[in-house]
Structure 1
Amino acid sequence: MGLMTIQARKPIISDRLVRKFRLGSGLVVFSFVIMHLANHSLGLISLSAAERAQQWFMAVWRNPVGTLLLYSALIVHILLVLRLLYIRRTLIMPPGEAFQIVTGLLVPLLLIDHIVATRVVHVVYGYHDTYRAIVHTLWLTSPTSGVRQSILLVIVWLHGCIGVHFWLRFRPWYIAIAPVLLSFAIVLPVLALLGFAAMGKIVTHDAAQPDERGYAGGYYSDIRSFGETGSVPGSQMADTLWPYRAGFYGAFSLSIVGLFAFRAHRRLRERRYQVAIRYPGGEVVHAPRGFSVLEASRLGGIPHYSICGGKGQCSTCRVQIIDGAENLPPPEALEQKTLNRIGATPDVRLACQLRPTGNVSVVPLLTPMAEAAIPVYTQAASPGREREIVVFFCDLRHFTALTESRLPFDIVFLLNRYFALVGRIVEENGGRMDKFIGDGAMALFGLRATPKEANRQALKAAAAIVREIDKLSAELADELSSPLEIAIGLHSGLAVVGSMGYGSVKNVTAIGDTVNVASRLESVAKEYNTALVFSEPVARLSGIDVDGVESREIAVRGRGEPLRVYIVSKEASSRFA
């Protein structure tokens, strides 16, 4: 019986479905927060404008369907955070993931008082939680609560924005609109807090004036009759609300205590059933059965790559099985899909998905660099992923002959003028300079644009560089033995884009067949003594008119089929400007 409880069981609900529930519930709560902050922002116009908008806000969220949807989403999201903490075999995690979990737990803790003071009082006592009444309470009666609710808004907003970012970050279209979304993420909470402050000043002024009923400090809310007295004194209401607060705080506290109690119980139970995982350096990690190899590495402090964070979406954590293959469960669908994509042999598995049932010896196939700048448990700042991009290569023709009789300082001066020209034009047209190699340069287009826009931007940049090189050549004619001539190659396709390098010499670059072909096309431009050569994919994706442009099919090393390219002279390049 004990052994059966320790064995990794197939979950009733798949991880994919759990992620969908977490995402769906989070988006519901995030939609509520967006509307709530937008409503606050209207306080900058007037208090009455905010209250009129609040009626629409209440109509959406205070009807039975909206109420059920909102509070169900909130409860589900909290429960899934607790579930995530329970199923994690170790609480060692990247800082970003830890921040999301901590803020996710802070939200209900800070939200309880607000729910009791608004929704519970509304349901039980008929309290009309208008903006005037709420702001009066948070700004004048209990400013400490006002500060706490402001902090709550900021925490919930940060938590939601980070969650949305991690959900969308690998989608090509998201990169193009990310600056707009970042601006929105900064501006909305700022406007909401300013709106709250503006309403606070209005309420402070009004509170100093008696209203038409003669109440000192004005009248802020209607209360449904209570017993025969016709109203509920504030002290009596506070006394009757404490069971609700105690219940909510008690339930939350018990859930946290229960979580760690279950974790402790599982740990004590698992100590009787451990597996030994051996590493090539002689290290042995004894981990409970059910741990993944990646979790065992983290438990033992052994460096182990996992760019995707252990989600089975990359192969950087893969290991080769040296001994104990009979103690391994077969790959699940997610792991098998990744292994098939990389053409892995049967003795290669993903460490983040592999949960040995017995002792095993493994060799990590990607050995982390012995570099202090890469902590063991963190992910790379820009993990590699396939992107549809345009790769741009350019090079000065006959540059060696140009520099044979020149002083070193003169050569540096010329190169810097040339590099500044290329870099400026590339960036003005939406590209990113990748690197300078001798008298050549490489740039990437499409990191923040659609494929069509990227290809057009690359062609426009190429035409502008050809034109500006002519101007630079004329400017330096007295200093040069022959005019400057440039050769440019463009190719569009899939490439692996990510942060690569070592230490401080690390930047976002691209590798793959698309890069190799673009470099080859720059050489073709030299061979044909022309200014620009671009491939058929560039022409097709950009949608440009190539009638009258010379085209040929060329053989490219590493490609089984010839590639059609378009050869453009210096004079003809202006048509793409």
Structure 2
Amino acid sequence: MKRDRSKLRKRLHIWTGVCLGLFLLTHFLNHALGLISIDAMERGRDLFNQIWRSLPGTIALYGSLAVHFVLALDGLRRRQTLRMPMREALKIGLGLALPFLLISHVTVTRIDWMLSGYSADYRDVLPRIWSRTSNTVWQSAALIIAWAHGCLGFWFWMRGRDWYPRMALTLYTLALLVPVLSLLGFMVAARTLGPAMPSNAWFMSGRTDPARLAEIRQAIFYTLAACIGFTLLWRSFPIRGKVRIRYPDGKVLSVARGFSVLEASRSAGIPHLSVCGGRGRCSTCRVRVTEGLEGLPPPSEGERQTLIRIRAGENVRLGCQLRPNHDVAIAPVLGADNVGVRPQIGEDVAAGRERRIAVLFCDLRDFTLLTQQQLPFDTVFLLNRYFETIGEAVEGAGGVIDKFIGDGVLAIFGLTGRIEDACANALEATARIARGMETLNRNFTSELDKPLRIAMGMHAGPAIIGHIGYGRASSLTAVGDTINAASRLEGFAKEYDAQLAVSADVIRYAGLTLDDRESYDIAIRGRKGTLETLIVENAEEIGTLLAAARARKAAVAQAARTGA
């Protein structure tokens, strides 16, 4: 029953929001007709009134307005913490502020018509608004805030849909055009009509007494303020008991029964990933219940479907949906930090000059199939963990991430120092990446049908290092035949189902000998001659050989110093 009520609330919130959004869209498009003429606005108003001032339209509009507002207050009451992402706070704040901005306009246009039967047209209303700067600013702010609130609501509703990324640019364009055209239509029409009529001409015979309208306006204002104030006051007096939530680092939170785990984390300032904003539309907030699993409220239908899709274990729940009714211990499955590429070299170090470098290309195999099997938000998160693994390995070995290309990464070694050290560091990075991918696969065993596999290509040689691009899109990068060859070797590794295809030049520069391995002379498109290449099925082997070579080199150096 409780699950059914929650589903009903969500559906009512969505469909009342859709109704109000349609009202705003038609109202603003009516304003935009002012760019043509006042008569065009009036003809549009006649059609607009036939829809929204009819009995069904009136019931739909004001029913939606009342239900949407009550559901917003109910959601605010049930929300256990007011700590939330900025977009969520902005949507709620704009929604609560909007009724106060619209009271005056609704009173003059709608309530006056309901009481007196007089329908004020654009020739009545526009001059009154345009005659005072405060009125103009107030109405413009109301228009912008109403539209922004609606757009944020639509974005939260639709951003997880598969089609949304394809339509995002079109939708953003419309979201900008509608209020701009509406404001321009209002401004052009108001300037066409000129200043307001004298105030004693505003209320014509048969109009509602202005004092009565003022009383109604004041009553609405105080009623809305009382509703919001009562809701906030209700929140400050919790009537439910407490439960304790223990985190892996030993921190224990005592929160009111009814808090979700995500809300508990937010209230205490504990980083807890939630890409979809806590609406159960992704699985990034999931937690593993390590103690107290028995007796917890069962998953809702939406949560259950998400857990089935990611093949979660019995002790895994969504943090945004799990509301413990007794003490529990939990461990977030996914970390809250995100990968970031930090600048590692100044522009004056290696810009616009030729250097001998080692280049590493790495790419995920079967990435397209992976994206089809995962939730969109989970795919983004998994990609970031993959990029983090690559980035830490490259940086730990002394390299620099040049760029991320889809699921591919280009890394450069040797922007400073010798080519020999650059190649040794690049080979060390491949071993680190191989180990990192094993760790990543272990952490995501339950979410993946098969382990993530990587293919790497590496070559060394001359390249031009410089800032390439335009404006803010420019960055330090490398161009030349060496880059192209490394890219082709990455594809060669895929063909041989191996982790690494490395040119013999890199091996020699690094001081390694792999005489016991078969090499291949491959042709690189756009490059004369062939390139001797070695195939390494498991790149961790390179790490072992590199460590042994360095140990031998250190022993020789020590013996030389001792003999001296």
| Alignment TM-score, normalising by the size of structure 2 | 0.62
User: Deviations 1:453-496 (Å, cap 9, x if unpaired)?
Assistant: xxxxxxxxxxxxxxxxxxxxxxxxxxxxxxxxxxxxx9995566
Q: Assess if the C-alpha contact under 8 Å between 2:276 and 2:282 holds in 1.
A: yes
User: Deviations 1:215-262 (Å, cap 9, x if unpaired)?
Assistant: x799778643xxxxxxx6xxx822121221122112101111210222
Q: Distance in 1 between matches of 2:272 and 2:363?
A: 34
Aligned to 1:107: 98
Cα displacement (A) at 1:329 = 2.6
Q: Distance in 2 between matches of 1:25 and 1:138?
A: 29
Q: Assess if the C-alpha contact under 8 Å between 1:137 and 1:143 holds in 2.
A: no
312-321 vs 101-110, which deviates more? 312-321
Q: Distance in 2 between matches of 1:441 and 1:346?
A: 33
Tell me the SS of whatever aligns to 2:209. Answer: helix
Unmatched runs of 5 consecutive residues or more in structure 2: 342-352, 392-399, 409-447, 457-489, 497-519, 526-536, 538-564
Aligned to 2:272: 304
Question: Which residue, 253, 256, 266 being the options, matches 2:225?
Answer: 253
After superposition, residues 518-529 of structure 1 pair within 5 angstroms as 523=493
Q: Assess if the C-alpha contact under 8 Å between 1:311 and 1:352 holds in 2.
A: yes
Q: Distance in 2 between matches of 1:304 and 1:11?
A: 26
Q: Assess if the C-alpha contact under 8 Å between 2:88 and 2:277 holds in 1.
A: no
1:182 equivalenced with 2:172 (yes/no) = yes
Cα displacement (A) at 1:328 = 2.1
Tell me the SS of whatever aligns to 2:274. Answer: coil
125-134 vs 13-22, which deviates more? 13-22
1:361 equivalenced with 2:329 (yes/no) = yes
After superposition, residues 472-551 of structure 1 pair within 5 angstroms as 494=373, 497-498=379-380, 500=384, 501=387, 509-510=406-407, 523=493
Question: Which residue, 288, 294, 308 being the options, matches 1:320?
Answer: 288
Cα displacement (A) at 1:24 = 0.9
User: Deviations 1:185-218 (Å, cap 9, x if unpaired)?
Assistant: 11221111111111121211796xxxxxxxx799
Unmatched runs of 5 consecutive residues or more in structure 1: 1-9, 208-215, 225-231, 374-407, 416-436, 447-489, 533-556, 558-577
Q: Distance in 2 between matches of 1:182 and 1:517?
A: 36
Tell me the SS of whatever aligns to 2:236. Answer: helix
Question: Which residue, 108, 112, 128 being the options, matches 1:117?
Answer: 108
After superposition, residues 338-487 of structure 1 pair within 5 angstroms as 338-369=306-337, 409=354, 438=360
Tell me the SS of whatever aligns to 2:294. Answer: helix
Tell me the SS of whatever aligns to 2:324. Answer: coil
1:238 equivalenced with 2:230 (yes/no) = no
Q: Distance in 2 between matches of 1:221 and 1:444?
A: 72
Cα displacement (A) at 1:138 = 0.8
Q: Assess if the C-alpha contact under 8 Å between 1:128 and 1:221 holds in 2.
A: no
Q: Distance in 2 between matches of 1:206 and 1:302?
A: 56
Report the AA paired with residue 173 of structure 1.
W
Report the AA paired with residue 125 of structure 1.
S
Question: Which residue, 148, 151, 175 being the options, matches 1:161?
Answer: 151
Q: Distance in 2 between matches of 1:161 and 1:197?
A: 23
User: Deviations 1:292-322 (Å, cap 9, x if unpaired)?
Assistant: 2222222222222222222233332222233
244-253 vs 197-206, which deviates more? 197-206
Q: Assess if the C-alpha contact under 8 Å between 1:335 and 1:350 holds in 2.
A: yes
Q: Distance in 2 between matches of 1:291 and 1:217?
A: 55
Report the AA paired with residue 35 of structure 2.
L
Q: Distance in 1 between matches of 2:204 and 2:66?
A: 30
Q: Cα gap change, 1:296/1:18 in structure 2, threshold over 3 Å: closer, same or farther? A: same
Q: Distance in 2 between matches of 1:81 and 1:66?
A: 22
1:285 equivalenced with 2:207 (yes/no) = no
Cα displacement (A) at 1:347 = 2.6
Aligned to 2:138: 148
Q: Cα gap change, 1:263/1:122 in structure 2, threshold over 3 Å: closer, same or farther? A: same
Report the AA paired with residue 354 of structure 2.
F
| Alignment TM-score, normalising by the size of structure 1 | 0.61
Q: Assess if the C-alpha contact under 8 Å between 1:136 and 1:200 holds in 2.
A: yes
Q: Assess if the C-alpha contact under 8 Å between 1:125 and 1:223 holds in 2.
A: no
Cα displacement (A) at 1:531 = 10
Aligned to 1:15: 6
User: Deviations 1:339-370 (Å, cap 9, x if unpaired)?
Assistant: 22333332332222222222222222223339
Q: Cα gap change, 1:287/1:518 in structure 2, threshold over 3 Å: closer, same or farther? A: same
Q: Distance in 2 between matches of 1:84 and 1:492?
A: 34
Q: Distance in 1 between matches of 2:365 and 2:213?
A: 64
Q: Distance in 2 between matches of 1:173 and 1:308?
A: 16
Q: Distance in 1 between matches of 2:143 and 2:212?
A: 27
CA-atom RMSD, angstroms? 3.9
Q: Cα gap change, 1:262/1:308 in structure 2, threshold over 3 Å: closer, same or farther? A: same
Q: Distance in 2 between matches of 1:206 and 1:68?
A: 33
Q: Assess if the C-alpha contact under 8 Å between 2:130 and 2:196 holds in 1.
A: no
Report the AA paired with residue 37 of structure 2.
S
Q: Assess if the C-alpha contact under 8 Å between 2:286 and 2:332 holds in 1.
A: yes
Report the AA paired with residue 211 of structure 2.
D
Q: Distance in 2 between matches of 1:441 and 1:145?
A: 59
Aligned to 1:425: none
Q: Distance in 1 between matches of 2:372 and 2:495?
A: 19
Percent identical pairs in the alignment equals 35
Q: How many residues align?
A: 401
Cα displacement (A) at 1:274 = 1.1
Question: Which residue, 171, 177, 198 being the options, matches 2:161?
Answer: 171
Q: Assess if the C-alpha contact under 8 Å between 2:289 and 2:329 holds in 1.
A: yes
Cα displacement (A) at 1:106 = 1.2
Report the AA paired with residue 76 of structure 2.
L
Question: Which residue, 229, 234, 244 being the options, matches 1:262?
Answer: 234
Tell me the SS of whatever aligns to 2:90. Answer: helix
Tell me the SS of whatever aligns to 1:310. Answer: coil
